[in-house]
Structure 1
Amino acid sequence: MNIYDKANEFAAELGKCDEVVKLREASKKIEGNEDNKKMLDDFRRLQIEAYTEQMQKGSISEEIQEKLKNMGPVISMNLAVSEYIQAEQRFSVMWDDVLKILNDGIGIDFTFGMSK
């Protein structure tokens, strides 16, 4: 069978898997509400800021740690945002596993020059 046919078959199956379905449903709840979008955007900005500090300085400042700590309870009280973040995390784990399987199947190490 043609590799493109297999890719289309995989894409169709992926669209039906539980992690994707739940992420899609959770995404709709975010898209329809400006407050939810803002909360998620603020959370993402803070995550990126923390990640950047971690990469550049080797640690995250107490200020950012405190902001993350304070944002957690606020997010957990917002059911739509909390569900979206959880669905996104479950999808991310599944997607990482799929990419590992595909990379292993190719048999080529694409991490040259990258720290593992």
Structure 2
Amino acid sequence: MNVYDAARALATEIKNSEELKQYEAIKATVSQNSEITEMINDFQAKQMEMQTKQILGQEIDEEFTGQVQQLYGIMMSDPLAAQYLQAELRFSLMMNDIYKILGEVINLGNNQ
């Protein structure tokens, strides 16, 4: 098997993974509820803003952090939004593990 075949096989395994199937199913359900969709989009935008500030070394004020935490709490109290976040997290963790494995194999960031 050459590297391209292996990559295609990995893509197929990801596509067939329970993590992706569950994430896509809950995402489809959530997309039918505009209120939850808006809440998730707002939360993700705030999360992205927070991560960007962290990467750039900018200070994150307590008010903003509180808003993100409050929105997270609201989302976790809604069963559908909580299911979405959990499914998204499981899929993200799987993908992070895959990226880590690939990175280790090719020694990303290692100048040896």
| CA 29–111 in structure 1, closer or farther in 2 if over 3 Å, else same | farther
What is the count of residue pairs matched by the alignment?
111
Q: Distance in 1 between the 2:76 and 2:54 partners?
A: 24
> TM-score scaled by structure 2?
0.82
| CA 55–99 in structure 1, closer or farther in 2 if over 3 Å, else same | closer
- Deviations along 1:29-73, one digit per CA (max 9) or x if unpaired, are 122221121011110111122223333455421111221222122
Moved >6 Å (runs of 4+): none
> TM-score scaled by structure 1?
0.80
Higher RCO (Cα < 8 Å, 6 or more apart): 2
Task: Check whether the contact 1:53–1:61 (CA below 8 A) recurs between aligned residues.
Answer: no
Structure 2, unaligned runs of 5 or more: none
Q: Percent identity?
A: 28
1:97 equivalent to 2:94? Answer: no
Compute the RMSD of aligned alpha carbons: 2.0
Structure 1, unaligned runs of 5 or more: none
